[in-house]
């Protein structure tokens, strides 16, 4: 079996828990490097809202949370970082199922910040630069 909980801090619980709808998102932990330079945004995607998290939750930092689904809204963690006890780092985001997501500047900012952070690089105070979309 793949040790998702040890690598990512959580594993998906179930296969039929998809929620496809636009959600309002804002950085949950603005002080974390992955949130640097990010602002609130609305984003439509397919999200997987149910996870089983590690017992050692102090190593998990919430990045994005949203109320899903619209009918009976419940807070769900949609993105988080995890610092493994051995020193490794990971970032998980339950969205980005559609290429259109790469046109969302705040999402690109979060992903670039996450790549830098998981690599051990310093994330600039304003976040990693997100240039204009290619033509």
- At 38-85, the pLDDT tens digits run 999 998 888 877 788 888 778 899 999 988 877 778 888 899 999 988
Report, as an integer, the average pLDDT of 23-45. 93
Q: Return the C-alpha torsion angle 50, 52, 58, 62, nearest 10.
A: -20
**Half-sphere exposure at residue 111, Cβ-oriented, CA atoms within 13 angstroms:** 13
pLDDT tens digits for range 78-103: 999 999 888 899 999 988 888 888 88
Dihedral pair phi/psi, residue 15, rounded to 5°: -120, -15
Percent of the chain with pLDDT over 70: 94
**Half-sphere exposure at residue 115, Cβ-oriented, CA atoms within 13 angstroms:** 7
- What does pTM read for this prediction? 0.87
Residue 111: how many CB atoms within 10 A of its CB?
Answer: 20
């Amino acid at each position: 079996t793949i040790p998702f909980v040890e690598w990512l801090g959580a594993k998906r619980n179930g296969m039929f828990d998809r929620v496809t709808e636009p959600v309002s998102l804002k950085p949950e932990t603005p002080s974390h490097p992955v949130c640097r330079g990010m602002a609130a945004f609305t984003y439509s995607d397919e999200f997987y809202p149910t996870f089983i998290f590690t017992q050692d939750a102090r190593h998990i930092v919430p990045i994005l949370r949203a109320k899903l689904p619209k009918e009976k809204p419940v807070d769900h963690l949609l993105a988080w970082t995890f610092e493994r006890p051995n020193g490794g780092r990971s970032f998980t985001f339950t969205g980005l199922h559609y290429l259109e997501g790469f046109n969302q500047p705040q999402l690109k900012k979060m992903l670039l910040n996450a790549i830098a952070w998981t690599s051990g690089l310093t994330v600039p105070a304003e976040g990693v630069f997100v240039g204009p979309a290619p033509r």
